[in-house]
Amino acid sequence: MLDKESDAGWGTTKANSGIIHPGYAGERNSLKYKISHKGNRLFRKNADELGIHIKNIGSMLNIFHDYQMGTLENFLEQGRASGLSGLKIITDRQKIKELEPNISSNVRAALFAGETCIISPYGAAISIYENALMNGVNFYFDNEVKSIEHITDQSGRKLFMIKTKNHSPYQPDYIFQSEIVINAAGVDSAEIANMIGDDSFKIKACRGQYILFDSEAGNFVKHVNFKLPDSSKSKTKGLLVTPTVSGNFFVGPNYEHITGRDLSTTSKSLDEVKENASKMFDNIPFGKAITEFAGLRAVSDSGDFIISNSAVNKNFINVAGIQSPGLTCAFIIAEMVPEILKNTGIKMVKNRKYIPENKNIERRIIKNDAAVNKSADADDTQKYEIVCRCEKVTEAEIVDAVRKGASTVDGIKFRTRAGMGRCQGGYCLLKVMRIISRELKIPFEKITKCGKDSYIAKYKI
């Protein structure tokens, strides 16, 4: 597994809305629509096995105009055809208010979907990563693919030679050889395909900006709420106001085409997010916002998922254009790829020692004030020493995260939530850095926020 980032679940994953969609939306002939409801069911099954914290809270697709009722009725029909349960249109405003006390009185009707769930997307990625490690997968982080060539080895086998640039100061560049390449590079997947001469699709990076609120305001919203876009030509399901599994809530994202990979937030776009969210909910406590962030969607020129062999080389599998509901479909896509591989003629051997479960549900996902890390390696001082006051994360939890692979400040944050609370690391940053330095035996000034050259300190503090 080659990844240009420094840890699992970065890039699009860590700035994902974390919604497991029920599967009623999408063009009827699209692959997205055909697999999303099955993806929902499979995700919920695998979440239990892998220790992924998932909450089934339901969703409301809210409309504001009578002419939009036809869209709700179409989605209702599509959902029922796919076998969704708990799907209904609510027009009684009192019932809508009972579901969401803070919702705007301008909401005309809502499509309620009982199968909608929320997760921590980066927490899920880390759980899957840990399970993959348990099953013998080798990960090469900080390795950006720079070229792919077709070669033939001495036995006559046709292979890919993949050259990487290593962004870690402690590792060399690598050259890999493989019979198979699975191109799941997100917004960079078209660029990777071009390396073998495959120009069959294009990917646009579309930015979405979010506003995240303090957990003190977490009870403001009860369900996943979508605002149906006014335009039928909209490329998204609409802006969200939704809880998180960690006890806070967020609003967003918007949708903007950009050039490059700019992840900055802008006052103009955040004002747009605020304005649209405020049309759906009254008195949103923007004074309790603790941070803003942006993510990139990988939008294919077809608008659909691309999951197939390359026409240039059948042993090169494109898994591209995986925007929403890509998270929902993650496990079903993972089942589709081996079926594609079978058609290449590659001999596949079942791993009879496969470990399907990863029941180590950590507090990195679930905020629980009473939880204490029970690591056998941690002494009593570490167990009870609070490093992050906002999220009540102990030193032992941070040590455990380092020993499971975290080597950056963000790596610690996404595993433990240290630095994700109200002060956004203002109190715990230096403490976390000292623990990373001590545990990994690397100089304090070499510690990064998120790998590459994102150094935080010029000298030891």
Active-site residue set: 21
Q: Which two tokens stand for residue 412?
A: 């610690």
DSSP character string of 371-386: -----TT--HHHHH-E
CA 331, 332, 336, 338 dihedral sign is positive
From CA 8, how far away is CA 420, in angstroms rounded?
18
The residues with which 250 forms a beta bridge, in sequence order, are 212, 242
**Using H for helix, E for strand and C for coil, what is the string for 385-451?**
CEEECCCCEEHHHHHHHHHCCCCCHHHHHHHHCCCCCCCCCCCCHHHHHHHHHHHHCCCHHHCECCC
What gap in Å lies between CA 192 and CA 199, rounded to an integer? 10
Burial degree of 355 (CB within 10 A; 0-12, 13-18, 19+): exposed
Question: What are the phi and psi torsion angles at 342 (to 5°)?
Answer: -60, -35
**Residues paired with 3 in a beta bridge:** none
Residue 269: in which H helix or E strand, if any?
A: helix 267-280
**Distance (Å, rounded) from C-alpha 150 to C-alpha 160?**
5
Query: Is residue 89 a contact partner of residue 107, using CB atoms and an 8 Å limit?
Result: no
Structure tokens of 238?
């609409």
Identify the burial level of 136 via C-beta atoms within 10 angstroms of its C-beta, where 0-12 means exposed, 13-18 middle and 19 or more buried: exposed
Q: Is the dihedral of CA 128, 134, 136, 140 positive or negative?
A: positive
Q: Which long-range contacts (CB under 8 A, 24 or more apart) does 160-165 make?
A: 160/196, 160/315, 160/316, 162/2, 164/2, 164/140
Select from 231, 319, 253, 225 the least CA-distant residue to 31: 319
Extract the runs of DSSP E, i.e. beta strands, from 167-202.
175-178, 181-183
The widest CA-to-CA distance across the chain, in whole angstroms, is: 74
Other residues' Cβ atoms within 10 Å of the Cβ of residue 371: 14
